[in-house]
């Protein structure tokens, strides 16, 4: 009875599984199936083969991801929900939710107004810096002024221009990925369209939508870096005030001690990382690699 055998793990993917060939999605080769086909029946017929759905998760399965896409036309928000189960000596379940919102009508007009005001304000600040240099002479030129212009002028203009272009195209992006030109337009009920073509169109739409989500995530990082730079600039500027300069002065005096503490922390963390891998790398999935061990220790 083959059902009594356990397959050994292998880095090589089989040519097909449950009648499907592997598909590269999110940069990873994986097999796929509709959740309803697996969960609602005990037998799945593929061609001339009757497959037991209970065998879909076998000894070679290391990870299972359930992906869902939701869209609210009233609010123009599309979301992806991913529930991932990692199978090793135990089961670790995690989830991720990403959102993409389209702006239209009055909301788009208000955002366009805010973006234009932000660009105008950055240009006014640039003019003020130029006038200051003109009145004070070349003696004020230096790295500090250059950094100030980057934080107050260059980064805001870049962000508002790029973001405004993205927001104005957001409605079309939703239509091409989630709407009739994308996932909603897949002709599942059409009998004259091969299933492979339907699946290809579906996964193309998912890939395109994930690309938009990735861009949104990158812009969020851009915004965070800009906001952090503004905060650090504000803290540094408090050094000119006699009473407020205590924060900058304290950091300046403690800089040496903080640096040595950071070195000691890195040494200890590296030692714990090596110990964790030595003890648990062969037993638990969380300690299988250096990166996963680092993340596990950080969570602890």
Each residue's pLDDT tens digit, 59-89: 777 788 888 888 888 888 888 888 988 877 6
Answer whether residue 280 shows pLDDT above 50: yes
What's the rounded Cα separation, in Å, for the pair 170 and 182?
14
Each residue's pLDDT tens digit, 27-64: 677 777 788 777 887 887 777 778 788 777 777 777 88
Task: Assign 2 a pLDDT band (cuts: 50, 70, 90).
Answer: very low
Q: What's residue 162's pLDDT?
A: 93
Task: Assign 1 a pLDDT band (cuts: 50, 70, 90).
Answer: very low
In the chain, the N- to C-terminal Cα span, in Å, equals 44
Q: Where are the alpha helices (DSSP H) in 61-194?
A: 105-136, 143-149, 155-168, 170-177
Answer whether residue 290 shows pLDDT above 80: yes
Cα dihedral 240/243/248/249 (nearest 10): 100
Nearest CA to 210 out of 245, 236, 237, 182 is that of: 182
Percent residues over pLDDT 70 in the chain: 94
Q: What's residue 163's pLDDT?
A: 92
Task: Assign 9 a pLDDT band (cuts: 50, 70, 90).
Answer: low
What's the rounded Cα separation, in Å, for the pair 57 and 54?
7
Nearest CA to 92 out of 278, 282, 296, 281 is that of: 296
Q: What's residue 117's pLDDT?
A: 95
Cα dihedral 205/211/212/213 (nearest 10): 110
Nearest CA to 236 out of 252, 215, 256, 219 is that of: 252
Answer whether residue 16 shows pLDDT above 70: yes
Average pLDDT, the chain: 83
Q: What's residue 185's pLDDT?
A: 84
Task: Looking at mean pLDDT, say which of 38-47, 89-98, 148-157 comes out highest.
Answer: 148-157
What's the rounded Cα separation, in Å, for the pair 23 and 65?
14
Answer whether residue 11 shows pLDDT above 80: no
Mention every residue, 6+ apart, whose C-beta is less than 8 A from residue 260. Answer: none
Answer whether residue 240 shows pLDDT above 80: no
Task: Assign 220 a pLDDT band (cuts: 50, 70, 90).
Answer: very high
Task: Assign 26 a pLDDT band (cuts: 50, 70, 90).
Answer: low
Q: What is the mean pLDDT of residues 245-256?
A: 79
Sign of CA dihedral 101, 102, 107, 109: positive
């Amino acid at each position: 009875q083959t059902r009594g055998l356990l397959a050994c793990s292998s880095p090589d993917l089989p040519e097909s599984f449950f009648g499907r060939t592997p598909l590269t999605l999110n940069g990873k080769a994986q097999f796929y199936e509709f959740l309803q086909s697996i969960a609602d029946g005990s037998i799945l017929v593929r061609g001339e083969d009757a497959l037991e759905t209970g065998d879909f998760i076998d000894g070679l399965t290391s990870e299972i991801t359930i992906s869902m896409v939701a869209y609210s036309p009233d609010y123009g928000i599309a979301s992806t929900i991913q529930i991932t189960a990692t199978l090793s000596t135990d089961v670790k379940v995690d989830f991720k939710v990403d959102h993409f919102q389209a702006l239209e009508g009055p909301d788009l007009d208000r955002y366009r107004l805010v973006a234009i005001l932000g660009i105008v304000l950055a240009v006014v600040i640039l003019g003020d810096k130029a006038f200051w240099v003109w009145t004070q002479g070349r003696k004020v030129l230096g790295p500090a002024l250059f950094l100030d212009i980057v934080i107050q002028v260059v980064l805001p203009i870049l962000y508002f221009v790029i973001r405004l272009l993205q927001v104005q195209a957001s409605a079309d992006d939703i239509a091409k990925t989630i709407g009739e030109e994308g996932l909603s337009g897949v002709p599942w009920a059409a009998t004259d369209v091969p299933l492979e073509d339907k699946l290809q169109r579906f996964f193309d739409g998912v890939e395109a939508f994930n690309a938009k989500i990735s861009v949104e995530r990158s812009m969020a990082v851009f915004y965070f870096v800009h906001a952090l730079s503004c905060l650090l600039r504000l803290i540094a500027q408090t050094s000119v005030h006699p009473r407020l300069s205590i924060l900058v002065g304290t950091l300046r005096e403690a800089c040496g001690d903080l640096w040595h503490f950071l070195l000691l922390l890195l040494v200890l963390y590296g030692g714990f990382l090596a110990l964790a891998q030595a003890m648990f790398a062969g037993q638990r999935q969380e300690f299988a690699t250096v990166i996963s061990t680092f993340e596990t220790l950080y969570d602890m």
